[in-house]
Amino acid sequence: MFNIALFGAGRIGQVHAVNIAAHKESRIYSVIDPNQSAAAELAEKYQAKVQDVESAMNDPQVHAVLIASATDTHADLIELAAKHNKAIFCEKPVHLDIDRVRHCLKVVEQQKVPLFIGFNRRYDPQFRQVKTLAQAGNIGKAESLLIISRDPSPPPAEYVRVSGGMFRDMTIHDFDMARFIIGEEPESIFAQGSNLVDPAIGQAGDIDTAFIVIKFPSGAMATIVNSRRSGYGYDQRLELHGEKGVLTATNIKENSVEQWDQTGCTAAKPEHFFLQRYSAAYAAEWQHFIDVLAGRASPECSGIDGERALYLADKALESMKSGKCVAL
C-alpha cells in the first residue's frame, strides 16, 4: 500500500483523490494545501492527515507525492520532493519558463527519482487505442496527423493574462499528443492565429483560434486545430493517416439517444469538458504511476516530455509572430 501526499485540494486534486483511494495499492496519506479548510475537508473524507509542505516532504511514511497545486509551485515542489527521494506525479506543466523547467529536470535527474508528468490525454482510451493500433502496424507508416482540440468556452481574460498564452496553456497538450502519436521529434513548426472568440483575450495579448503545422524528419506532418470555444462542448478528436489507411478517434457523446422527427435527427453533445471526457484517463494514468511505484514500469511520460511540449509552444509563438516556418 503506497502512501500518497496530495498537494492541492482543489478541483483536479479531488479528481486524483478519488483514483488514489479507489486503487487497491494506494491510499491518500496526507493532504497539503495553503487553503487549510479545503485540505481539512478532503483529508477527513479519506481519513487522511493534513500536513504542511515541510512535514510531508520529511515524513518517511510518504512514498510519493501528487502535485496538483498552483502551476507556479510545480517546479519548486518537484525539486523539493526529488531532494527528499519521493516519487513524483506532477500535473502539467512543470513551469511556463523553459529555463526553469530545464533546471528542475536536472535536479530530478541527479536525485534519480521517478517523475511522471500528467499529460492526461495520452491515457484517454480513444487516443491510446490509436497509438496501439498504429504501433501494431495496422495503417503502415504514419504520414499525417490531424488534431482537433477545442474547449467548450473561453477562460476569463484574467486567467489568459497569467496563462503563458494559448500555446503554452492549451496547445501544449496537443504538442505532446503530436509527439506521442508520431513518435518522432519535430523538425519545423508553423503557426497561424486569430483573436475571434473574445476581444478581451486579444486585449490581453493572446489569440483564441489557431492552426499549427508541424513537420517531422520522416516527412510525416501534423496539423493542430485549436479554439478556446467550440459552442458544443469539449471537442477532442484526432486522425492518423498512414500508408494503408486512417485511424480516427472521435468525441464521446453525453448519451447515445437520438430523436428522429420532422426536423431530422437530434443527438447529444460531446461530453462537456476535461473532467468528463478524461475521467477514464485520470484513472488510467494513476494505474500507470502505481506500476512505476511498484517497479513494474518506468514513467512513460516524463520531464523531458514536459520540456519538449513547452519548447514547441515557444517556437509556435515565434512562428506566428514572424510569419515563417521555424526550424527546430
Q: Which of residues 186-225 bind its own copies (CB under 8 A)?
A: 188, 190, 192, 194-197, 209, 211, 213, 215, 219-221, 223, 225
Round to whole Å and give the CA distance between 17 and 4.
9
In residues, how long is the chain? Answer: 328
Instruction: List CB contacts of 121: < 8 A, sequence separation 6 or more.
Output: 127, 173, 176, 177, 236, 278, 281
176 in contact with its own copies (CB under 8 A): no
112 in contact with its own copies (CB under 8 A): no
The partner residues of 239 in beta bridges, in order of sequence, read 146, 248
**Cis previous bond, 125, omega within 30:** no
Pick 34 or 125: Cβ nearer its own copies: 125
Min dist CB 91 to its own copies, Å, is: 22
The backbone torsions φ and ψ at residue 207, rounded to the nearest 5 degrees and listed phi first, read: -110, 170
Round to whole Å and give the CA distance between 287 and 281.
10
Min dist CB 154 to its own copies, Å, is: 11
Pick 157 or 225: Cβ nearer its own copies: 225
- H/E stretch holding 91 reads strand 87-91
162 in contact with its own copies (CB under 8 A): no
The backbone torsions φ and ψ at residue 268, rounded to the nearest 5 degrees and listed phi first, read: -75, 160
Pick 116 or 167: Cβ nearer its own copies: 167
The partner residues of 68 in beta bridges, in order of sequence, read none
Out of 19, 26, 69, 126, point to the residue binding its own copies (CB under 8 A). 126
Pick 23 or 84: Cβ nearer its own copies: 23
Min dist CB 208 to its own copies, Å, is: 9
241 in contact with its own copies (CB under 8 A): yes
Out of 23, 40, 45, 73, point to the residue binding its own copies (CB under 8 A). 45
253 in contact with its own copies (CB under 8 A): yes
Out of 20, 66, 130, 309, point to the residue binding its own copies (CB under 8 A). 130
Round to whole Å and give the CA distance between 295 and 307.
24
Min dist CB 90 to its own copies, Å, is: 25
137 in contact with its own copies (CB under 8 A): no
The backbone torsions φ and ψ at residue 18, rounded to the nearest 5 degrees and listed phi first, read: -60, -45
Size of the site for its own copies (CB under 8 A): 75
CB 211 within 8 A of CB 124: no
Name residues contacting its own copies, limited to 141-160 (CB under 8 A): 141, 143-144, 146, 148, 150
33 in contact with its own copies (CB under 8 A): no
- Residue 153: CB atoms within 10 Å: 14
CB 120 within 8 A of CB 91: no
CB 150 within 8 A of CB 186: no
* x-marked contacts with its own copies along 268-287 as a string, rule CB under 8 A: xxx-----------------
247 in contact with its own copies (CB under 8 A): yes
CB 104 within 8 A of CB 75: yes
Pick 65 or 147: Cβ nearer its own copies: 147
Round to whole Å and give the CA distance between 301 and 36.
31
**Radius of gyration of the chain measured on its C-alpha atoms:** 20
181 in contact with its own copies (CB under 8 A): no
50 in contact with its own copies (CB under 8 A): no
Pick 69 or 227: Cβ nearer its own copies: 227
Out of 60, 99, 263, 296, point to the residue binding its own copies (CB under 8 A). 263
